[in-house]
Structure 1
Amino acid sequence: MERIQRNFLWDSYGDGYGVTTPLVNWDIVCSPINYGGLGVKKIAVFNKALLGKWLWRFGLEKSRLWRRVIASKYGVNSGGWHTRSIRGSHGCGLWRSINSGWSDFVPYVDLVVSTGDQILFWINRWCGDRPLKDIFPDLYACASNRQATIASTLIRSASSSRVEWNVHFVCNFNDWEVEGVASFFELLHSHTSFKEGVDGLRWRLTGNGIFNIQSYYLALRENHPVTFPWKAIWGVHAPRRVAFFAWSASWGRILTADNLMRRGYQLAGWCCMCRRDGETINHLLLHCDMAFGLWSFVLQTFGLEHGPSLYSLDLMAEAE
């Protein structure tokens, strides 16, 4: 599929014999527009983001028939928020493919405590960025019930909303361990304000806490911000073909003589307009005698000097 997309994008830059010439790296093309790309979706990553919707629904729609069937077939763990790992080679591979994305999905999910009967006290991540078993490994090793739920460790007052923690250990602690125990209960007492209703999920990447495919896709893409004059290219009223040419030129990828020679073509390196200097992007668009007069007029209109490179265009973008 991505090959079809690439061929469609670069088909007009072929050599006439069915061989296309990609101008810009595909990873850049698939970056968001404000990061210098074209916003084209990477199919494999976008597919994983789409499948993440089913992981989200599996954790919330516990009364639905499809969820009960999958849970019955594969089993659940960690409080029933996802199925167990599927290692067998037999059976339908659809849910196996969906469930394999859990490790990428779970860092962006928080468990919202209400009754606490579906959230494992030590194992699930509910009071910070890590589970309690990772924050306090020594205390976890001494816990009397490592699979305890939050509900089983809470004592709720019938006359008020006050709650107390009742965590049991299999041994007493030494004097040098008391400070760690105190930190443990201090963390617990900072998380005693629970919502009414049932335990649920909260999506970290959106303001309303609801799963969003686009936010998950961007998180999976791991975009690296770059300085790029995207507003000067795509934010003006210019034909898309012209904007695409300006985008390619900003990345230094239009097929000037020097770029063609780097790709193995044998041709004269001089400029096709002035027929003197080597044809580079900066020369062809800015410094050639035929282009110099035009750009001098444009830049003087904006109060800028004719700079040595396309950096002058970046200054124009910032001025806007």
Structure 2
Amino acid sequence: MDFLWGGGNLERKPHLVRWELVCLSKSKGGLGVKSLSFLNKTLLAKWNWRFTNEREALWNQVIRGKYGEDKGGWCSREAHGMGLWKGIRLDWKLVSDRLAFKVGNGIRVSFWRDRWCGESPLCMSFPSLFALTVEKEAWVADIWDPLVEGGWGGSNPCFLRAFNDWEVEEAERFLERLQGKRVIEDVEDMVSWIETKSGKFSIKSLYVALEAGGSSLFPSSFI
């Protein structure tokens, strides 16, 4: 690919095209060359997805026993020292940012910080209410009150004070968002991958997401 770099083995010239642009898909003006960096991240990220979903697997139990659990048990605690799992755990955010939670018993889903009620976490959708809540780290099950709504049950978060007039509208939208969301005690919480229609993780979907966020379009129309 000397024509991309502007030189050969025996001479140095300025690179004509950045490697990030070469790795773009052809539809975006690149050559469709796979980025090994992105591909490696997606392959490692798959293990984070498997850790989240394969709790009963022997390898999963070994990792949990060695490092412990974090984030409701969806991931391990951060690994230190040397080892393969440390590198895998470092990219947990690539997976966690693309998870949606399906609430069952609510004991492993963060009420405010996880994406379970709408397209964004409640702490981001309602920042003023989040600042006022007493239970910022509560799980969905902690907020659930089976006695409200005439015995039908519902979420009943506690706040530091009564709402001011300018906060009432946001509080109403907050309650509307929670409408119809229920805790089912005998059903486990689950996760869904938001980058695919099936809700299942795929290496391709994460690669495309990383590619979309990593480079701008190459102006091939001007060549």
TM range (shorter): 0.7 to 0.9
Q: How does 1:111-122 map to 2 (within 5 A)?
A: 111-122=101-112
* TM-score using structure 1 length: 0.56
Are 2:34 and 1:41 equivalent residues in the alignment?
A: yes
Are 2:71 and 1:81 equivalent residues in the alignment?
A: no
Report how far residue 51 of structure 1 moved. Answer: 0.7
Residue of structure 2 equivalent to 1:59: 52
Are 2:141 and 1:151 equivalent residues in the alignment?
A: yes
Report how far residue 39 of structure 1 moved. Answer: 1.8
- Cα shift readout 1:259-283 (whole Å, capped 9, x = no counterpart): xxxxxxxxxxxxxxxxxxxxxxxxx
Q: Distance in 2 between matches of 1:39 and 1:63?
A: 39
* 2:94 maps to which of 99, 104, 118: 104
Q: Distance in 2 between matches of 1:166 and 1:14?
A: 67
Name stretches of at least 5 consecutive residues in structure 2 with no aligned partner: none
Q: For 1:219, what is the secondary structure of its paired residue? A: helix
Counterpart residue identity of residue 62, structure 2: V
Query: Over aligned residues, Cα RMSD in angstroms?
Result: 3.4
Residue of structure 2 equivalent to 1:217: 207
Counterpart residue identity of residue 66, structure 2: K
Q: Distance in 2 between matches of 1:251 and 1:24?
A: 14
Determine if contact 2:38/2:207 at 8 Å carries over to the other structure.
yes
Residue of structure 2 equivalent to 1:237: none
Are 2:113 and 1:123 equivalent residues in the alignment?
A: yes
Report how far residue 214 of structure 1 moved. Answer: 1.0
Report how far residue 68 of structure 1 moved. Answer: 2.2
State the identity %.
36
Determine if contact 2:134/2:159 at 8 Å carries over to the other structure.
yes
Q: For 1:110, what is the secondary structure of its paired residue? A: strand
Counterpart residue identity of residue 98, structure 1: I
Determine if contact 1:31/1:40 at 8 Å carries over to the other structure.
yes
Tell me how many residue pairs correspond in the alignment. 215
Counterpart residue identity of residue 205, structure 1: E
Sort the Cα spacing of 1:174 and 1:19 in 2 relative to 1 into closer, same or farther, 3 A: closer
Counterpart residue identity of residue 177, structure 2: L
Q: How does 1:184-199 map to 2 (within 5 A)?
A: 184-189=174-179, 191-192=181-182, 197-199=187-189
Determine if contact 2:99/2:192 at 8 Å carries over to the other structure.
yes
Determine if contact 1:78/1:123 at 8 Å carries over to the other structure.
no
Report how far residue 166 of structure 1 moved. Answer: 2.6
Counterpart residue identity of residue 32, structure 2: G
Q: Which has the higher contact order (CA 8 A, sep 6+)?
A: 2
Report how far residue 49 of structure 1 moved. Answer: 0.9
- Cα shift readout 1:198-231 (whole Å, capped 9, x = no counterpart): 3222111111111110111111112545676xxx
Determine if contact 1:78/1:124 at 8 Å carries over to the other structure.
no
Q: For 2:154, what is the secondary structure of its paired residue? A: strand
Determine if contact 1:155/1:165 at 8 Å carries over to the other structure.
yes
Sort the Cα spacing of 1:124 and 1:14 in 2 relative to 1 into closer, same or farther, 3 A: closer
* TM-score using structure 2 length: 0.77
Q: How does 1:286-301 map to 2 (within 5 A)?
A: none
Report how far residue 30 of structure 1 moved. Answer: 1.4
Determine if contact 1:123/1:132 at 8 Å carries over to the other structure.
yes
Q: For 2:60, what is the secondary structure of its paired residue? A: helix
